[in-house]
Amino acid sequence: DCPLSPRAVRIRAKILEVMSLRRGLYISPALAAQLEAEPIKDNRQLLEFRVRSRNIDWREYVLPLDTSVRTTPVYLDRQADFVGSTRRQVTEDNRRELLVCHDMMGNYLEDRHFHSSQKYDDYRFVHWSAVDYFCYFSHDYVTIPPCGWLNAAHRHGVPVVGTFIVEATARLDEFLASEESVESTVEALTRLCEHFGFEGWLVNVEVTVPLAKMPRLYRFVRQLTAATESRVPHGRVFWYDSVTDDGQLRWQNELNSRNAKFFRHSHGTLINYAWDEGHLERSAQQVRREQSPRHRVFMGLDVFGRSRKGGFHSWETMELIAKNGFSAGIFAPGWTFETLNRFGYNIKNPRGDDQVNASFFGQKRGVVVSHLAHIGHASVHFAALLHGLLRGFRPGEIRARLADFGRG
């Protein structure tokens, strides 16, 4: 056999390093049960910190956010789908950010386990270099991101936010009952970030708020943002476009005077996905009145195609967002995996399926590559990049390739 070149030796060592990261720590069954992610269902559980891992030091299991792995982002523009040398640097004047909102089949699936899913063909996300924020979403009261997602995102320098969603009037009445209850809820949510090691919240109030309680809702968003900024490294709070200034649940699909106060009290607003070009124009006008950069406005893009083009045509929606200088919030990128069952694939096969794996990557490429021209990219260090690229390969397949890697 021909000896490996020095460069091949270094690359091979990096691949082996990443494989060891994937195997990770040995976790006993009892500890694994404590480390399994779970949502918080009600206010009592939230305020009393009733989580099964309350006595665990999560710093032993969650990697800290490593922003050093990311370079200054660039726009690839038309060269996104091939190797080219032209790069347009992202500046404060042209910055557009990307928030990925992972909402797949209710979430807390196999990814809830400490080592995440063990199915090699399961859903995975690898395009971290294009992402600025990652949100783990469910319709539970408080959604805490699982450890696997935290480690994957943090390894690539991406902050992770959980979801605080209010979809029941009784739940709203509890946390807005008084100024003290607002402060207690802020403290409880901030404690969760500190305990589990994630960076903040997407706040989504999906019920009508009595007008008399609107000052407390504003106070809640303002105090949560301040507490997250001061106590959580790289902390972020985003408001979802839902309730207006009169307390009505009325999605605006734009930034305007009816929801601007929430925009001022948070790090950014995720706009509902049913917008049109008129909404974009009015949002731009409101941003100018706020004297704020446009990248704090995240226009929603639903990959399932609700209200605007989705699926393989969602790039058209992304293109329109980019042309108007706004950031984007992508809902449900798991469409590329969820919809495989329409073609007769069994995505729940416990043993995994090579055809599911291949078809998933095909669908994912068809959607993602078309978006890349409109998104900023921050290069990541080689080990982090390989960790993403190797997901979906069986360990035996990787070792077989390594055996011949770099040989003549």
Backbone angles phi, psi at 313, to 5 degrees: -105, 10
CB 250 within 8 A of CB 279: no
Q: What is the pLDDT of residues 63-88, one digit of tens each?
A: 999 988 888 888 776 655 555 556 68
Strand order in the sheet with 376-377: 88-89, 74-75, 376-377
Residue position matching structure tokens 């291949």: 358
Confidence of residue 279 (pLDDT cuts 50, 70, 90): very high
Q: What is the pLDDT of residue 370?
A: 60
CA–CA distance, 310 with 304 (Å, rounded to integer): 5
Distance CA 200, CA 102 (A): 15
- Answer whether 0.75 is exceeded by the pTM: yes
CA distance 132 to 281: 24
What's the chain's length in residues?
408
Domains of the chain plus CATH, in order, are: 6-403 (3.20.20.80)
**pLDDT, mean over the chain:** 82
* Of 177-181, 342-346, 393-397, the least confident: 393-397
Round to whole Å and give the CA distance between 406 and 378: 28
- Phi–psi pair at 210, nearest 5 degrees: -55, 140
Q: Tens of pLDDT along 210-260?
A: 999 999 999 999 999 999 999 999 999 999 999 999 999 999 999 999 999
Average pLDDT, stretch 317-327? 93
Closest CA to 44 of 163, 141, 137: 141
Q: pLDDT, tens digit, for every residue of 373-387?
A: 666 767 655 444 444
58 band by pLDDT with thresholds 50, 70 and 90: very high
Percent above pLDDT 70 for the chain: 72
Place of tokens 């919809």: 339
Q: How far apart are CA 158 and CA 234, in angstroms?
A: 10
DSSP state letter for 40: B
Residue pair 98/327 in contact (Cβ under 8 Å)? The answer is: yes
Q: Region 94-108: what's the mean pLDDT?
A: 86
